Chain A
Amino acid sequence: MTKLPVILFLTLGTLRAFGQSQIFLDEGDIQLLDLEFAPVAVAERQLGVSLPGVVVSPPDASSLGISLYPGVLERWHAAPGEAVEAGAALATLRSVEVLEVQQDYQVANTELTLARQQHDRDSQLFDAGIISRRRLLESETTLGGAQAALRSLESQLMVLGLRQSDLQALLAGEFDLGTFTVRAPAAATLSHRAYVTGEHVPANAVVAELNGNDRPWLSVRVPARLSPLLDVGGSLSTAASGHTLTLRQRDFNIDVLSQSVEVLAEFDGQVSVVPGQLQTVVLHPRPGAMLIPAAAVVHEGVESLVYVRNPNGVEIRALSLIPMGDAYLATSGIRAGEQILVKGAALVKGIQLGLGSDE
């Protein structure tokens, strides 16, 4: 194909575009063709893109009872649905590794006692000038080491759920060696027991799940292409119930596999949802965008067109539109209150394309 026809075609097309910016319609045409107009309004909050989400516990709040050491679950102390206080015992396990730690603790305690006794004697001898300062320092160092070792083992045992009283009982030989207790990290309701009595629990396994008393959160995977709509502090809502959420966290790295980002949003009020529950979430548009109903939009080539009423008929206006659910949003090119054609756009497009009578 030579250039000239292409140039002519493009020129004609351009001229046509300019020439076709107005379609003349009178009241008779409007009535006959059953055309309807409606004013453009600012998009309401309830519009948006729907995405699937899942309810999760607040990410900062621990909601899991975890067994740090492997062992056999001996006993549960709470039932599902039971409210527990922070630190309350959830389950008792028996573990060989914990037994060793407890034994080490006992040994460490004995060594501490011996070290203290040695230090006291050395102090007396130093005061009497019998031993040198160096020897006193040695016994002080041994004492310090014994104290540190004891404290370390004590910490481990406390992490394993032993309390002070348990430690004392342990030292007194009145504690059931080898057992440890998984405790509630926070006041919550036991929602799920992951193991049954007698079952072996591996190290770092979640033994129990709890529902915190804080407001639940929602995890949503959002296609990366929609990430510009995500503003921390922005609002979302659930499609079915209309509960509102505030976007608290979002990934800034895109998951390579799914090409999506995870966002976490917190429910704004108390809601009766449980972790794991699926909810359809609506991402809302930015404020100030104009709502354009789908029926008002026609497409020609890559352009999206609406027909705006004017005294002579309608003006053909190309807009840059953002699809938003069942409608579109226009952030520029149209003002609130302008009348657009919302019924009969297909017919007017036909007129634009030259179909039918010119009368």
Chain B
Amino acid sequence: MFTQLIQTALSQRLMTALLAVLLVGFGTNALLNLPIDAFPDISPTQVKIIIKAPGMTPEEVESLITQPIEVELLGIPDQAILRSISKYALSSITLDFDEGTDIYWARQQVSERIANVWDDLPGDISGGLAPMSTPLGDMFMFTVDNDELDLEEKRFLVDWVIRPALRTVPGVADVNALGGFVKTYQVKPRRDAMVRLGVDNDAIVMALSENNRNDGAGRLDQGEEALLVRVSGAIENLDDIRNILVETGNNIRVPMSEVADVSIGALERYGSVTADAEGEVVQALVIGLRGANAREVVSGVRSKMADIEQTLPAGTSLNIFYDRSILIEGAVSTVTRALLEAVVLVLVLLGVFLGSLRAALTAAFVLPLAALFTFLMMNSLDMSANLMSLGGLVIAIGMLVDSSIVIIENIVSALASQSPGKKRLPHLHIIYRAVKEVAVPVVSGIVIIIIVFLPLLTLEGLEGKLFRPVTLTIVFALLGSLVLSLTVIPALASYTLKADAHREPWLPRQLLNIYRPVLNVALARPLLPASIAGGLLVLTIVIFPLVGKTFMPTMDEGDIIIQLESIPSVNLDTSTNIVNMVEEAILEEVPEVVRVVSRTGSDEIGMDPMGLNETDIFLQLKPPEEWTVSSKAELEERLRTVMNRFRGFNYGFTQPIDMRVSEMLTGSRGDVAIKLFGDDLDALNANAQQIAAMVAGIEGAIDTVATLNEGAQYLQIELDRMRAGQLGLDAEALQQRLRAEVEGLRVGTVLEGTARVPLMILYDDVSGDGEEQMSNNFITFGEGSVMPLSELASINRVEGPVSISRESGRRFAVVRTNVEGRDLVGFVEDARNTLAESLDLPEGYFLEWGGEFENQQRAAARLTLVVPIALLLIALILFLTFRSIVQTLLVLSNIPFAMTGGLIALWATGEFLSVPASVGFIALLGIAVLNGVVLMSHFNHLRDKGLEITEVVRHGAQRRLRPVMMTATICAFGLVPLLLATGPGSEIQKPLAIVVIGGLISSTLLTLFLFPITYRRFVGNLPA
């Protein structure tokens, strides 16, 4: 098959060229149309349900809303995990589905189940499915600033001008508004007037509800024309409200102004936004649709913002403080630069090793073509160009030229071996024979490397989503390079390479001069290299436990978020003041911070239901070149110094995407999430605090926190239903009245153009001690009678939980910690041991270890399973190639020595064994085997010619020195740009580069010195 392919390519060179041109065309088109993002889409198929339940405590939300919905959702097939959180007035339920589940089907299933149970839920709830976004959907954030507008006006702009406009941008799921005040038309009943006139709350509600509507009254015929009748009754301004008549206890009606003050007000707030220690601001957050191209979405949003800004009130500016496209550009440029640098390095090395610019360029021609082929395949599979997929291409660069180098080198040798004067074979024939000679080993080598990477396609979870693109691009690139090496490269070589007297280039000559005597020594004293190799193996075994294990290096996103947590019972104003204080300190003492925007509490939609005591402080940093510190770690240390001076609240560091990914995957933030499952909230809280204290004492623990999930203050009003009933009071009406008392009761909507402004009833502010004021509150009932609320209900101040978290139907509390200065796995082991010794859990309570650690365990388990399978497949291919078990085993024996160098390199550089490093080891497997295959093939070839075994290995090793060194050097140098890169995302690829480069050094040296000895020892006695 291959010979046919080679033959066709050489005999139809024009066709081959045309196909290459088509490849260039289509590949370039694919490149230009490739979506570009920072990360591959790592979000699972996830459906989120958000239910708002005004006035309900977390326990009520849990029992009345969360649990019934969870029970209903449990029957949906293909679900992976069900999590929920019940907070004051909010239930948030997240259902993850198995990989590959269609999101629309999933949403449909959830929708149906919710419809089944909706009628059984308390009547006054609202909500449903959250927008179809992912936790990584927060793409773009900006504040709306104008010195002439107040917070309410700015919020109005966001809600009714900016948000509707931005929602038209393709790819935008929603625009979340935060901060400011939501305008309302507010009716404040005067209690004294109500008592005097015998007006109760129901009468006011009814009057407002029934007097706010436009309607059609039908059609009148006028001759041959029709006149449409429209009755205008909707409220348009405050006077309309004031003039609405309200029924009194004396069956007479009085204007609303007699019983209430009517004015513009604001909705009860559940969150605020501050910036730069200058007080409150209004923020908008653009949420992208699932699967949307972030760069395109951001570009569309920016364009739309430019249009909107011109229509906004004079002096209004939209100030961006988070733009995902910056990270995308940074990450992509990091890997693009690495790619280009790798290409240049490879070209230089090719030239140096081949000694011929023509040969080098011919061989290097496979690089852009293979890359274009890769882009074509990526486009057809709807893959994006991101850190990981392009990173795969960088990893493969060194390997892409392998096959073309072997082919070009053989062509050069074959052309040079044509002695002048003798009858020469046709040029094309020489090339054909040269290519055919190496076709099988080239194909085997590529197939081996592809097989080596295939196990990565079986990785699950986050690591699967991250490294699948890497694997696919490597496989595509290698396949492309293989086909091109057998077709386009020989065709090109037929034009570019001539029969020249070939002289060994300078570098290979020097290398040979060094190698020859050392090889001779090794062959004369075989125990010496064997001992060295054995020593290295022993060293590896000793070092392995010392190399820390972790899941993934943390990508530097360039932004920092500080998460604050105050006491659970803090109010919004106090929380905002605390944040203001922190902002001021940061801006004063950390010059690297150019802007601080802080969000306290929850957003309107409820996508991120934080409590009033929780704040995310977003730090916008200057470019690193303007920093006074040398690294981000140092910057964080400086921030920590500032934060540690404050007391009375907890804090932790994270990054925008990192925070969301952790929450998405585990429901909590942090390197390690220790989940304690149990039933009793008090026991969960107490034990969680104990666990936190123990874990905080373990070396490497930092930012250890168990959320203080108690101490929220509730004013519990329990109605005496019999008493209320005796007085003819409707409990529901009373509850409505109480809601109007505290938070406000929405009774309608006033249309202001396209804006829909809530119409609210809200009584006088409950000030001072709310318990006392509520107790003394006189409730009006029937014919002007009054009674203090304390006689209709028991009113007690109680403490309760802030929230109730559940997973798979069980309550849990979580202790979060980050790990610094040591490996994750070692830390978790120590933590496990400590807790096993000192923690005594109640019966039925158990721990689960999650967070990044969970991912690491899963990845390690999967790799432990699939890598041996890959090795078996490689062994099979080797056996099919060499038809000898001994030779197969000899080639495979290269692998441990390759691992040696990789592990020593990790240890020496202080890096941890992570998933990227594991991928590096996997890549090393293939390259190490390839070197063995190259040597083994040539040794066998020389044996077949009848040479004596020592001469076989001496001559063969020297002959193959150049290709082996070329393969190793080009692969290694191809990764040097990744090793030295510093931009966003470079942290993820660096361990891979370290492992491969270190492994290549050991593998190459041991292959060149030890393999000839082992071949002579084990194969030499076998028949040829």
Contact = CB atoms under 8 A, between A and B. Distances in A.
Interface in A289-340: 294, 298-302, 323-328
Given A33-B647, A346-B566, A356-B650, A258 B786 contact: yes
A294 B769 contact: yes
Contacts of A279: 192
A34 B581 contact: yes
A223 B790 CA distance: 8
Contacts of A356: 646-651
B22 interface: no
Given A33-B581, A260-B788, A260-B791, A346 B192 contact: no
Contacts of B651: 356
Interface string A4-28: 0100010000000000000000001
Residue among B581, B650, B788 facing the most chain A CB atoms (10 A cut-off) = B788
Given A350-B649, A356-B649, A259 B776 contact: no
Contacts of B571: 346
Contact of A355 (B650, B769, B840): B650
Contact of B567 (A32, A50, A258, A353): A353
A278 B195 contact: yes
A301 B727 CA distance: 34
B647 A50 contact: no
A130 interface: no
18 contacts: A1-B680, A1-B683, A5-B840, A33-B647, A33-B648, A223-B790, A258-B788, A260-B787, A278-B192, A278-B193, A278-B196, A294-B767, A346-B574, A350-B649, A353-B567, A353-B711, A355-B565, A357-B644
B470 to A, nearest CB: 41
Contacts of A3: none
B750 interface: no
Interface in B677-698: 680, 683, 686
B421 interface: no
B570 interface: yes
A355 B771 contact: no
B799 A49 contact: no
A349 B648 CA distance: 7
Given A9-B686, A346-B648, A350-B648, A355 B772 contact: no
B578 interface: yes
A349 B567 contact: yes
Given A33-B581, A225-B790, A350 B647 contact: yes
Interface residues of A, number: 49
Q: Is the interface of A mostly helix, strand, loop or mixed?
A: mixed
Contacts of A301: 799
A223 B775 contact: yes
Interface in B708-745: 708, 711, 713, 727
Which of B569, B648, B785, B840 has the most chain A CB atoms inside 10 A of its CB? B648
A237 to B, nearest CB: 16
Interface in B191-210: 191-193, 195-196
Nearest to B787: A258
Nearest to A54: B196
B648 A348 contact: yes
Interface in A33-58: 33-34, 49-52, 54
A263 to B, nearest CB: 14
Contacts of A147: none
Given A278-B195, A280-B192, A347 B647 contact: yes
Given A258-B785, A349-B648, A355-B565, 10 more contacts: A32-B581, A49-B772, A258-B786, A299-B797, A325-B772, A347-B648, A350-B648, A355-B649, A357-B647, A359-B644
A351 interface: yes
Interface string A54-67: 10000000000000
Interface in B646-664: 646-651
Interface residues of B, number: 52
A355 B577 CA distance: 17
B842 interface: yes
Contacts of B191: 52
Given A350-B566, A355-B708, A29 B647 contact: yes
Interface of B: 191-193, 195-196, 565-567, 569-571, 574-575, 577-578, 581, 585, 643-651, 680, 683, 686, 708, 711, 713, 727, 767-769, 771-773, 775-776, 778, 785-788, 790-791, 797, 799, 840, 842
A221 interface: yes
A9 B192 CA distance: 50
A349 to B, nearest CB: 5
A51 B776 contact: yes
* Residue from A29, A349, A350 with most neighbouring chain B CB atoms (10 Å): A350
A328 B769 contact: yes
B135 to A, nearest CB: 27
Contacts of A5: 840, 842
A34 B577 CA distance: 10
B645 to A, nearest CB: 6
Nearest to A277: B196
B178 to A, nearest CB: 22
B645 A300 contact: no
3 nearest interchain CB pairs? A350-B648, A323-B772, A347-B648
Contacts of A294: 767-769
Contact of B776 (A50, A351, A355, A357): A50
A42 to B, nearest CB: 18
Nearest to B799: A301
Contacts of A325: 767-768, 772
B786 A33 contact: no
A123 to B, nearest CB: 67
Contact of B646 (A33, A52, A280, A327): A33
B648 A351 contact: yes
Contacts of A348: 648
B195 A326 contact: no
Contacts of A355: 565-567, 647-650, 708
A299 B713 contact: yes
B137 to A, nearest CB: 31
Contact of A359 (B193, B566, B645, B791): B645
A224 B776 CA distance: 10
B772 A346 contact: no
A33 B787 CA distance: 44
Given A223-B776, A259-B787, A350-B567, A323 B768 contact: yes
Contacts of A221: 786
Contacts of B585: 32
Nearest to A223: B788
A357 B646 contact: yes
Contacts of A33: 581, 646-648
A69 B86 CA distance: 70
A355 B575 CA distance: 14
A32 B790 contact: no
A260 B789 CA distance: 11
A300 B645 CA distance: 25
Contacts of B581: 32-34
Contact of A357 (B195, B645, B786, B791): B645
Nearest to B792: A259
A52 B648 contact: no
B888 to A, nearest CB: 61
Nearest to A328: B769
Contact of A323 (B649, B683, B771): B771
Contacts of A349: 567, 569, 648
Nearest to B687: A5
A54 B196 CA distance: 9
Contacts of A259: 787-788, 791
A346 B711 CA distance: 12
Contacts of B195: 52, 278
Nearest to A240: B192
Contacts of B570: 346
Of B585, B646, B771, B775, chain A has the most CB atoms within 10 Å of the CB of B646
Interface centre among B575, B727, B778 (most CB of A within 10 A): B778
Nearest to B574: A346
